[in-house]
């Protein structure tokens, strides 16, 4: 059977950050995280188009009006490519079983960071029998080679970055090299996405994600990035990034953006070059970006502000220097204070991420982080519970401490953590996270400041929705 049509999809298994390898968060369980367009599927779709394949993209958790079985029958794809998360993989793979019940010879392919580090021995459950292939690594550089091999009856064992079953045994081919020239990738196939469904929570307008770079040299013990994207930072050129922004404006009328990178501000000179290119083209856009607290200069933040940036998200993680050192963050509490204050001085809003529940943490350590979150002038905060992904130093740590009592599947960051600490149970971590959120967002001064910031009915409705979500996920949520 020749592969001519491919359905690329996120399965209807709840709202998760799929394709966000280092952060596979449960969006419904979060306080403030919003849904993002499936750029990973969009990149693969564009690559498949280059070899003559007809792709279809479905984001079923977001596209409530679409049905998986209906699409299988109407589109009649020859291949499925599904984005999975570690948390949901067993539920995700059930959709391959459903597909093979509808079309027995359909080829099923799963992709996601899970396959880079998960042991092959974990694939021996029955649900994996319906997965023909798994892609591990940068899927855009692998998927076309897999399709080409299958269409030309070539030996797939020569395709790097694949997992498949042969003679009743799972085989893992050597890893595919990282894509060095990110400018060589076609832009994501946004014409196949429902762009109007991906909304900026701050404005209520459509927002697109622009992948600006990949890789991070940091050594944080909890992070998958060095494994998934490498320690070398690979950056797109300013021209290529802004060309994609212009396409979003001209073809899709999208003027708000999330500049996604493993750390956007790692190279201040490059950031300024991107900002200057936006300004040179006189693009009236607004955007947000993520950043480490160092290295970062006030001059860089000023250029970002001039180019339309209005919010920076900082990975602060902890209010304890001891914890920051143990997690190998490469930054201190003073660095965090300096970064947030710089952003505020140039007029940028700040979104601060914190992590709770590292193996060494006691209640007083987490209380210190909660107090710190209210001490610094951050406008928004999210509190994750530390998750030990396969392949990370944190995973080895919790395994050696005897804290793992189950497979690392079925968890989420917020209401069902994978493990507790040496001193705190999983239920105690859930309680402390709720306490962190409520004590941050229900401060009278914070509520007043938020109301003064609201400048339109649309923004009021949007903030009300997120406020109700916060209440639902803290006061009324049970695991």
- Where exactly are the structural domains of the chain? 5-172, 199-474
Instruction: Count Cβ atoms below 10 Å from residue 379 Cβ, excluding itself.
Output: 18
Reference 435, options 474, 404, 473; nearest CA is 474
DSSP 373-384: HHHS--SEEEEE
Contact by Cβ (8 Å): 143, 48: yes
Whole-angstrom Cα distance, residue 218 to residue 232? Answer: 10
Contact between 131 and 93 (Cβ < 8 Å) = yes
**Quick check: 357 and 397 in contact, CB under 8 A?**
no
CA within 13 Å, CB half, 197: 16
The CB density around residue 294, as the number of other CB atoms within 10 Å, is: 17
Which pLDDT does position 478 carry in this prediction?
Answer: 46
β 349-356/286-291 pair status: unpaired
Fold classification of 199-474 (topology level): pyruvate-formate lyase- activating enzyme (3.80.30)
DSSP per residue, 15-63:
-B-TT-TT---BTTTSSS------HHHHHHHHHHHHTT-EEEEEETTT-
* Residues listed for the chain: 479
Residues 44 and 10: their CA atoms lie apart, in Å, by 13
Assess contact for 27 and 17: CB atoms under 8 A.
Answer: yes
Helices (H), 127-195: 143-151
Per-residue pLDDT at 447: 85
> What span, in angstroms and rounded, lies between the C-alpha atoms of 198 and 193?
10
Q: What one-character-per-residue DSSP string does 407-421 give?
A: -S-S-BTTTB-S---
The owner of tokens 């902890």 is 318
Beta pairing class for 213-214 and 208-211 = unpaired
Pinpoint the alpha helices (H) of 281-392.
298-306, 321-326, 333-345, 363-375
Sequence-distant (6+) residues with CB within 8 A of 466 are 31, 32, 201
Q: What is the pLDDT of residue 206?
A: 94
Cα diameter, the chain: 66
* CATH class in words for 5-172: alpha beta
- Kind and range of the H or E run holding 315: strand 309-317
The pLDDT of residue 270? 97
d(CA 460, CA 466): 10
d(CA 188, CA 148) in angstroms, rounded, equals 20
User: Omega before 295 cis (within 30°)?
Assistant: yes
pLDDT for the residue numbered 455:
64
- pLDDT of 407 reads 61
Closest by Cα among 391, 369, 352, 379 to 22: 391
Distance CA 81, CA 287 (A): 30
Structure tokens at 80: 């499925």
Report d(CA 229, CA 215) in Å as an integer: 5
Q: Which of 462, 389, 404, 475 is nearest to 433 (CA)?
A: 475
Helices (H), 152-266: 225-228, 238-252
With residue 115 as reference, give the H or E element that holds it.
Answer: helix 114-117
Helices 39-50 and 143-151: crossing angle, nearest 10°? 40
What is the mean pLDDT for each group of 10 consecutive residues in the chain (479 residues)? 95 65 53 79 98 97 92 98 89 95 97 90 90 96 98 96 94 96 98 94 90 95 92 97 99 97 93 98 97 94 98 96 97 97 97 95 97 95 89 91 69 71 93 93 87 67 64 57
The whole-angstrom separation of Cα 152 and Cα 80 is: 18
pTM (two decimals): 0.91
């Amino acid at each position: 059977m020749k592969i001519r049509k491919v359905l690329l999809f996120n399965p209807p298994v709840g709202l998760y950050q799929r394709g966000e390898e280092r952060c596979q968060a449960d969006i419904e369980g979060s306080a403030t995280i919003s849904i993002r367009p499936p750029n990973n599927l969009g990149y693969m779709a564009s690559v498949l188009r280059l070899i003559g394949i007809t792709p279809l993209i479905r984001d079923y958790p977001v596209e409530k009006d679409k049905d998986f079985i209906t699409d299988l029958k109407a589109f009649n794809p020859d291949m499925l490519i599904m984005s999975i998360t570690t948390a949901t993989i067993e539920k995700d793979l059930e959709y391959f079983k459903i597909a093979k019940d509808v079309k027995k010879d359909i080829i099923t392919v799963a992709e996601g960071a899970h396959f880079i580090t998960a042991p092959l021995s974990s694939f021996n459950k029955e649900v994996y029998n319906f997965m023909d292939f798994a892609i591990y690594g940068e899927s855009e550089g692998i998927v076309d080679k897999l399709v080409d091999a299958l269409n030309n009856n070539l030996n797939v064992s020569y395709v790097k970055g694949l997992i498949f079953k042969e003679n009743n045994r799972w085989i893992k081919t050597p890893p595919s090299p990282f894509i060095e020239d990110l400018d060589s990738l076609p832009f994501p196939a946004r014409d196949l996405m429902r762009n109007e469904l991906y909304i900026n929570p701050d404005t209520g307008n459509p927002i697109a994600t622009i992948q600006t770079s990949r890789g991070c040299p940091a050594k944080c013990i909890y992070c998958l990035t060095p494994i998934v994207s490498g320690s070398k930072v690979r950056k797109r050129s300013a021209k290529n990034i802004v060309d994609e922004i212009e396409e979003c404006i001209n073809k899709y009328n999208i003027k708000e953006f999330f500049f996604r990178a493993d750390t956007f501000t790692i190279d201040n000179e490059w950031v300024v070059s991107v900002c200057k290119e936006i300004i040179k083209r006189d693009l009236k856009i607004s955007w947000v970006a993520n950043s480490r607290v160092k290295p970062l200069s006030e001059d860089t933040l000023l250029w970002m502000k001039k180019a339309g940036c209005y919010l920076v998200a900082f990975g602060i993680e902890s209010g304890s220097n001891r914890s920051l050192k143990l997690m190998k963050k490469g930054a201190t509490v003073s660095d965090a204070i300096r970064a947030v204050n710089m952003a505020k001085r140039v007029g940028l809003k700040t979104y601060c991420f914190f992590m709770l529940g590292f193996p060494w943490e006691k209640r007083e350590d987490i209380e210190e982080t909660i107090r710190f979150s209210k001490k610094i002038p951050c406008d928004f905060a999210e509190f994750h519970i530390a998750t030990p992904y396969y392949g990370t130093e944190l995973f080895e740590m919790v395994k050696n401490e005897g804290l793992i009592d189950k497979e690392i599947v079925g968890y989420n960051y917020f209401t069902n953590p994978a493990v507790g600490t040496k001193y705190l149970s999983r239920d105690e971590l859930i309680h402390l996270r709720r306490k962190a959120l409520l004590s941050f967002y229900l401060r009278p001064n914070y509520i007043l400041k938020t109301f003064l910031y609201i400048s339109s009915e649309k923004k009021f409705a949007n903030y009300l929705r997120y406020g109700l979500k916060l209440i639902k996920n803290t006061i009324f949520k049970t695991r």
